[in-house]
């Protein structure tokens, strides 16, 4: 997605001083004309269609419901409620989030502070995660399951004195060899001709209960699960009532071709690439990013519009505050 916001800001910087008022007046007129042509939405409180326009506040149209008597704006009960930014800015934030652009670059391109860009990004992530909870991804057909690992991180937080490990710089490695409690396990599953899902529930290697808690309600009974023979994944056959194939056993017997987990390994590579782009992700926010990774992997070009429509939908309350950004559904392991 072309960054039109950044281009507009650069053009505004080059305007002569005596043209600024004219440019502001022209752009204000565009906003007001756009508001006038928008259809009157139903009431987000009682869903009534008996709604009329009720003036403007901060250059935004307000509405009055004739049934419940409440006033509202077009972003009431949506993820954009209370935001001073319009559709173009939010779509740029979504595009940068989808494409792995850093928060600092997003902040510079849309002309906001780092903290504002951070809060906007996490409202996008919260919306994606909430939609996944509302309409869970269920894997069927041929499914590949495996886990991958990322270093736990306290990015953005100063470690207290006497902490169990020393602070790490970006790019540092774990102090211990192998998979230890310095790593967070990400359980991943991909349907070969469908969706993907990733979630973290524990440090180090996920056990049978961990894998079951992630996938038990997300695997159809007719599915064929391909895994590398790990007992925790093999046990899903009983939990989900489906077939499980150990690709390592098949390879040892000379089998090849169909029985492999290359697709889920590609998903792992995608996650690791994004993790490096972000220079690590604070572990407490990891499941928000897992929801993003699941959504973006093998996605279409229409993903920005799809996520924006999720955020502006008021079928269910989607408004989240800055306090929610810091506290809602954090990973505590």
Average pLDDT over residues 234-261: 75
CB atoms within 10 A of CB 8: 14
Average pLDDT over residues 88-92: 91
Q: Is the pLDDT of residue 76 over 50?
A: yes
How high is the pLDDT of residue 163? 82
How high is the pLDDT of residue 252? 47
Chain segment 272-317, per-residue pLDDT in tens: 999 888 888 899 999 999 999 999 998 876 899 999 999 988 777 7
Q: Return the minimum-mean-pLDDT range out of 33-42, 81-90, 234-243, 312-321.
A: 33-42
Q: Is the pLDDT of residue 72 over 80?
A: yes
How many angstroms separate the CA atoms of 191 and 142, rounded?
6
Query: pLDDT over 70 for what percent of the chain?
Result: 94
How high is the pLDDT of residue 286? 94
How high is the pLDDT of residue 103? 92
Residue 174: C-alpha distances to residues 64, 166, 183 (Å): 58, 11, 8
Chain segment 249-277, per-residue pLDDT in tens: 765 454 556 788 999 999 999 999 998 88
Q: Which CATH number fits domain 137-300: 3.30.420, 3.40.5, 3.10.310, 3.40.1350?
A: 3.30.420
- Predicted TM-score of the model (pTM): 0.84
How many angstroms separate the CA atoms of 261 and 224, rounded?
12
How many angstroms separate the CA atoms of 92 and 107, rounded?
10
How high is the pLDDT of residue 250? 61
Beta carbons of 63 and 89 less than 8 angstroms apart: no
How high is the pLDDT of residue 144? 93
How high is the pLDDT of residue 35? 64
Domain residue ranges of the chain, discontinuous segments joined by +: 137-300
- CA dihedral of 36, 40, 41, 44, whole degrees rounded to 10: 100
Chain segment 112-167, per-residue pLDDT in tens: 999 999 999 999 999 999 999 999 999 999 999 999 999 988 888 888 888 878 88
**In 3-state terms, what secondary structure has residue 225?**
strand
Q: Is the pLDDT of residue 40 over 90?
A: no
How high is the pLDDT of residue 136? 92
Task: Report CA 139 to chain centroid distance, whole Å.
Answer: 19
| 54 CB-contact burial (10 Å; exposed 0-12 / middle 13-18 / buried 19+) | middle
Q: Return the minimum-mean-pLDDT range out of 7-11, 185-189, 219-223, 252-256.
A: 252-256
DSSP tag of 283: G
Residue burial 220-235, b: 16+ Cβ < 10 Å; e: rest? eeebbbbbbebebbbb
Helix boundaries (H) for the chain? 4-13, 20-37, 87-98, 103-110, 114-134, 208-215, 231-234, 236-240, 247-252, 262-277, 286-296, 303-312, 322-327
């Amino acid at each position: 997605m072309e960054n039109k916001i950044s281009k507009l800001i650069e053009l505004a910087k080059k305007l002569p001083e005596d043209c600024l008022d004219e440019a502001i007046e022209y752009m204000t007129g565009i906003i007001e004309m756009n508001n006038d042509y928008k259809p009157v939405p139903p009431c987000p409180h009682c869903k009534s269609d008996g709604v009329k326009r009720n003036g403007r506040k901060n250059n935004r149209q307000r509405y009055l419901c004739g049934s419940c008597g409440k006033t509202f704006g077009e972003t009431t009960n949506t993820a954009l409620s209370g935001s001073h930014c319009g559709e173009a800015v939010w779509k740029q934030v979504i595009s940068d989030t989808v494409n792995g652009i850093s928060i600092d670059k997003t902040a510079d391109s849309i002309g906001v502070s780092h903290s504002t860009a951070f809060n906007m990004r996490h409202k996008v992530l919260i919306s994606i995660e909430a939609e996944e909870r509302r309409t869970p991804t269920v894997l069927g057909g041929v499914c590949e399951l495996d886990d991958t690992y990322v270093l736990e991180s306290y990015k953005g937080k100063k470690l207290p004195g006497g902490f169990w490990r020393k602070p790490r710089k970006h790019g540092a490695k774990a102090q211990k060899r192998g998979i230890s409690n310095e790593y967070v396990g990400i359980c991943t599953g991909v349907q070969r001709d469908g969706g993907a899902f990733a979630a973290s529930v524990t440090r180090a290697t996920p056990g049978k209960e961990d894998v079951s808690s992630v996938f038990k309600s997300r695997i159809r009974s007719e599915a064929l699960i391909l895994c590398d023979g790990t007992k925790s994944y093999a046990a899903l056959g009983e939990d989900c009532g489906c077939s499980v194939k150990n690709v390592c056993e098949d390879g040892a017997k000379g089998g090849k071709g169909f029985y492999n987990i290359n697709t889920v390994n590609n998903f792992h590579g995608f996650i690791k690439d994004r993790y490096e782009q972000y220079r690590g992700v604070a572990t407490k926010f990891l499941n928000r990013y897992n929801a993003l990774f699941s959504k973006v992997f093998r996605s279409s070009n229409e993903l920005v519009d799809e996520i924006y429509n999720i955020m502006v939908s008021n079928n269910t309350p989607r408004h989240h505050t800055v306090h929610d950004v810091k506290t809602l559904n954090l990973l505590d392991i």
